[in-house]
Amino acid sequence: MTDSGTVDIHISLYDYTNDIRVNLWLSCEGIFPTAKVYGFGDRPKSCHLYGFGDHPQGSLSGITSSCIMQGCEEILLLLGEHCASTLLQTDISIRKGVNLGYIVVSTCLDYLLREPFTYALYFVTAMGHVNFGVSAAFPASSPADALQAPAASVLVIGAGLAGLAAARQLLRFGLRVLVLEGRARPGGRVYTSRLGGGQAAVELGGSVITGIHANPLGVLARQLGIPLHKVRDRCPLYHTDGRTVGTRLDRSIDLVFNTLLDHATRLREALKEAAEGISLGEGIERLRRLYNVAKSEEEREVLDWHLANLEFSNAGCLSELSLAHWDQDDQFEMGGDHCFLAGGNSRLVHALCDGVPVLYEKTVKRIEHGVDGVSITVEGGQVFQADMALCTVPLGVLKSGSIVFDPELPENKLGAIQRLGFGLLNKVAMVFPSVFWDEEIDTFGCLNKESSKRGEFFLFYSYHTVSGGAVLVALVAGEAALEFEKVDPVVTLHRVLGILREAETNTETPEMIQSGHGNRSGR
């Protein structure tokens, strides 16, 4: 774990009562800048707006955020939510890298050797890795032992998952918090609609917990005792005429697809900087031609399905994704099963809202910030003042310039806002009177004849296991998602029902009860 220039700290926590030992690794290089920036223990009153580029995990070296999350979640689970009080012994061993300056190293060591566990706990708590969430142990109020000095105030902009989670945590740290939300409801891009006479919980926004390991949403679900349903692996594919894609064809093109991706990785390694100007789509197509694979019409359609699935997971067209960088965030992905949450993700939103002061229909138009604090003007002219602001609005809102920052945001943040992009993913949710598809699957896919339409209703998610109704959600990704925006929803609904009728030829598709639409923008 030791990189040149870092000090890695290994803390071994031992609970005598339960005979459990948990190991936690931290990197000093990350700890000190983080402690200075956030300094919750010191209750800074200065005004800072943190956003892109300031994320403290960016300064950790030799350790990924998911490593920390994994270690901390283990602590949380194994030692219980009151881990601080159940720990009876701490061991510490420190290995130091070679290039860190003497003064910094000795300061680190002195500090850490004095109170190693307290510091580690402080760090992981301040980072929100432990002691967070919605259990009775963490109400949205200051802990009893909080400092009595007047607390700094924070205005959180946006009551999506990020804003609500941050607001709860800041309240726990003893700050005074108010959330300003533009809409009349919390949750932002998480929205569970109740369709089919209110019987079925249908996700029109974020739906799948994409990897349960070290995922804070999984921790929330466990704290609330909400069951999770693992999305099962089997995903049959259907030809356009309704035939099931045969196992041999399915497996062989699956292998072709994965091999092409492996070769694309090697290609960019070989091309080095020259890979910068090539899109992932172009790279894969060049390799397909080079290796002369997926030549027949059927093979091509199945490969197109995999490419649509790749566009879905990246919420962008392959022609827009960079061969050099498309998978740069893979190392931060959550591992483990993908899951649905019983009853819908709004259950998490409502739990996060509990005890958090939120003002709705307060669309922020202007944020003035300086050494004396922040002054925020909402639509209609009302002004709110605080020591600090935490802005959690989506990238699209920042790009649109609908919020004026005065003074303007720093160059690095403006650059990041400008460089980051997003794409489209559309979904059509349908509620039927009964499940007419195979109940033992959670997903099935449909091929398309034309490559440009490969993402049109290419994947169906079945939510019958968790939603309280016979719910299917059809996804539209890639170029098809862009076209979808221009088409009348009634027309698209007929199209998707037509596809369903073909795909499920053995049974009759019953009349649909209700439908809904949602769309998602990704990076």
Site residues, ligand FAD (CB under 6 A): 157-163, 180-183, 188-190, 205-208, 210, 363-364, 392-394, 397, 403, 427, 518-520
Indicate the residue among 6 and 207 with the shorter CB distance to ligand FAD. Answer: 207
- Pick between residue 183 and residue 194 the one whose CB is nearest to ligand FAD: 183
Pairwise CA distance, residues 279 & 257, whole Å: 16
Inter-axis angle of helices 280-291 and 247-271, to 10 degrees?
110
Give the Cα separation of 222 and 124 in Å (integer): 20
Residue type, 476: V
- Residue 19, phi-psi category: left (phi > 0), alpha (psi -120 to 50), beta (remainder): left
The CA distance from 519 to 204, in Å, is 8
Q: What minimum distance in Å lies between the beta carbon of 347 and ligand FAD?
A: 14
State yes or no: cis peptide before 56, omega within 30 of 0: no
Shortest distance in whole angstroms from residue 521 CB to ligand FAD: 7
Query: Minimum distance between the CB of residue 281 and ligand FAD, rounded to whole angstroms?
Result: 22
Shortest distance in whole angstroms from residue 160 CB to ligand FAD: 2
Least distance between ligand FAD and beta carbon 291 (Å): 33
In whole angstroms, the minimum distance from the beta carbon of 208 to ligand FAD comes to 4
Tokens of 332: 């931060």
What number of CA atoms fall less than 13 Å from residue 278's CA on the CB side? 21
CB of 376 to ligand FAD, least distance (A): 9
The nearer residue to ligand FAD, 112 or 475, going by C-beta atoms, is 475
Least distance CB 396 / ligand FAD (angstroms): 9
Least distance from C-beta 406 to ligand FAD, angstroms?
15
Q: Which residues are paired to 516 by β-bridges?
A: 429
Closer residue to ligand FAD (CB): 150 or 401:
401
Asked if 360 and 181 touch (Cβ cutoff 8 Å), the reply is: yes
Find out whether 47 and 124 touch, Cβ atoms under 8 Å: no
CB of 443 to ligand FAD, least distance (A): 12
Quick one: 91 or 333, whose CB is closer to ligand FAD? 333
- Give which of 53, 62, 344, 408 is closest to 191, Cα–Cα: 344
Pull the structure tokens for residue 191. Answer: 């929205």
Q: Which is nearer to ligand FAD, 71 or 518 (CB)?
A: 518
Spatial CA neighbour of 52 closest among 366, 306, 398: 398
**Among residues 126 and 166, whose Cβ is nearest to ligand FAD?**
166
Query: For residues 242 and 250, what is the distance between their CA atoms, to the nearest angstrom?
Result: 15
Minimal CA–CA distance to 213: which of 222, 226, 204, 203? Answer: 222
Strand, helix or coil for residue 365: strand
**119/191 with CB nearer ligand FAD:** 191
Q: How far is CA 455 from CA 288, 296, 316, 381, 473, in A?
A: 19, 19, 11, 44, 14
Separation CA 140–CA 133 (nearest Å): 9
SS3 category, 274: helix
Residue whose CB is less far from ligand FAD, 123 or 461? 461
Distance CA 77, CA 382 (A): 44
**Which C-beta is closer to ligand FAD: that of 289 or that of 399?**
399
In DSSP terms, 244 is beta-bridged to 238
**Cβ-based nearer residue to ligand FAD, 55 or 501:** 55
Cβ proximity of 245 and 237 under 8 Å: yes
Question: Least distance to ligand FAD from the beta carbon of 107, Å?
Answer: 36
Q: What are the tokens at 278?
A: 């090539």
In whole angstroms, how close is the CB of 492 to ligand FAD at the nearest point? 15
Indicate the SS3 state at residue 523: coil
In the complex with ligand FAD, which residue's Cβ is closer, 159 or 195? Answer: 159
Residues 394, 374: Cα–Cα separation, whole Å? 20
